[in-house]
Structure 1
Amino acid sequence: MIFVLSRGRLRVLVDSPWFTKVITAVILVNAITLGAETSPELMASFGDALHLIDRVALAVFVVELALRFGAYGRSFFRDPWNWFDTVVVAITLLPAASGSFSVLRALRVLRVLRLVSVVPSMRRVVSALLTALPGMASITALLALVLYVSAVIATKLFSTVAPEYFGDLGDSLFTLFQVMTGEAWSEVARQVMQEKPFAWVFFVGYLAVTTFTVLNLFIAVAVSAMQNQMSEEHAEHDREEMAATMEILAEVRKLRADVEELRGRASV
């Protein structure tokens, strides 16, 4: 019974708003100190203090995970975000080594990513993006197909005019990927158009298909996933409110029945 009560109190503690705010503040402070450690001037003046803050932040994260595990027990690992937090903290707990393993010390910055699991709005965005991955994979395949077909056409048409951009299939793929991002595409097009004036038809059509159509499909899929995520959250909230309302009504009916029973006994 004492264990149940302590677990209940732990749940109240770790789920309280002030506890979340404290962890968020620690994450932000730790992010600032990790950035400050990249400055030789700051390290020369405040190196010991920065290392101390970093160790304190890591200790806070370990204690927080221990409290959450104590509050939820085995159900702690049913939440993917708890797995995420555990892996991030476990990586930063690995001892710093020299040589090829010295990168482990740089991985301490991964602790900043815990902000994603702490802030509900960020967690909602990441969950929506993960939900949208299948649709994005289909769009990526379509984009790769368009890029490949366009690269083959461009190599055949412009390899002799601009060999530095379209000399072979690999060059054409890289150039058209650059054009798709909008980076200096006009320079490439103008150089080709000096020899082939009607080359603008190819470039304008390619940009219309890739940049203005296919790439915007990524945004459409992401927005649709966000809307579905919010709709599910609203539906879950409505179900919880309905369940709470039904529970209150059941208690009211029980009280009314008890009152009627007491009245009957009093009348007798």
Structure 2
Amino acid sequence: MSVGGGDVSIRARLRGLVEHPGFQRAVLGVIIANAVVLGLETSIVDGPVDQVLQVVDDAMLWFFVTEIALRLLAHGFRFFRDPWSVFDLLVVGIALIPATGPLAVLRALRVLRVLRLADSVPAMKRVVNGLVAAVPGMGSVGALLVLVMYVSVVIATNLYGAIAPDHFGDLGTTAFTLFQVMTGEAWPDIADEVMVHEPMAWIFFVVFILVVSFAVLNLFIAVVVSGMESIDDLAEHEERSDAEVMDELRAIRAQLSAVQEELARSRATSEI
């Protein structure tokens, strides 16, 4: 029993350490410093400064390894129930893979450690959670966008393929051209080239921009905003629930105090 109690005590202490605001601020500071070091390493390639930056980067990596190990010991298997913790583990694990030979490309992935800021800053974490909550809706809007794009690509290829083969010669070329039009990049030049031979072609471009750029793409924004609102509502509900639980606990404590006082008075009366 004592050994088990000791293990529980050690785990509780580790949990208190990793969840302490000071420890979390230290981790956040190292993440920001590591982002700066990774940026400097791209500008300073050779020389003694690069070697110093490499040593500092390695020291920060082992700091992250130690921090992940402490969190694993503190939370046990519950560590893997948190998607953010699993993400942290993968990011640090990728950085530990030797970046030599065919794995040299993994060296560039070290910058993913900067994304741990999204886990460490509550405001960023709330935004990312909102984006994740909006993924199902974004998938539906994306499918609608693909459908509208495909219909537009087929129509534009049939109508303007012979007139402007550089922009509408085949489905692939037309898809890229309409994507460019959708982003608003140089679409008047494309439209002018077509309208030299088809003066009424402006109708197609105007309708396409109104439907795709102003309608469908704005649906993405609406879905993301809805996801953000759902996360905010959930957080507000949790805060309200916590407040209600605290109020109930205070009421129970007040009732227990009243009962204790009544018992004390009863005992004093019986003794008299």
Matched with 2:16 is 12
The aligned runs of 1:182-193 (5 Å cut-off) are 182-193=184-195
Query: Match of 1:198, SS?
Result: helix
Find out whether 1:73 has 2:76 as its counterpart.
yes
Contact 2:44-2:50 at 8 Å conserved across structures: no
Q: CA deviation at 1:206?
A: 0.3
Number of positions where the alignment pairs a residue of Structure 1 with one of Structure 2? 266
The aligned runs of 1:28-47 (5 Å cut-off) are 28-40=32-44, 43-47=46-50
The aligned runs of 1:25-104 (5 Å cut-off) are 25-40=29-44, 43-98=46-101, 100-104=102-106
Question: Distance between the aligned counterparts of 2:263 and 2:78, measured in 1?
Answer: 42
Question: Distance between the aligned counterparts of 1:150 and 1:33, measured in 2?
Answer: 47
Question: Distance between the aligned counterparts of 2:239 and 2:14, measured in 1?
Answer: 24
Matched with 1:135 is 137
Identical-pair percentage: 48
Within the candidate set 246, 259, 262, 1:260 is matched to 262
Q: CA deviation at 1:158?
A: 0.9
Question: Distance between the aligned counterparts of 1:187 and 1:152, measured in 2?
Answer: 21
Query: Match of 1:155, SS?
Result: helix
Residue segments in structure 1 that go unaligned for 5+ positions in a row: none
Question: Distance between the aligned counterparts of 1:110 and 1:169, measured in 2?
Answer: 36
Q: CA deviation at 1:45?
A: 4.2
- Letter of the 1:75 counterpart: R
Q: TM-score, normalised by structure 1?
A: 0.95
Q: CA deviation at 1:184?
A: 0.8
Within the candidate set 227, 234, 237, 1:235 is matched to 237
Contact 2:154-2:171 at 8 Å conserved across structures: yes
- Letter of the 1:225 counterpart: G
Find out whether 1:120 has 2:122 as its counterpart.
yes
Question: Distance between the aligned counterparts of 1:47 and 1:219, measured in 2?
Answer: 43
Matched with 2:217 is 215
Runs of 4+ in 1 over 4 A off after TM superposition: none
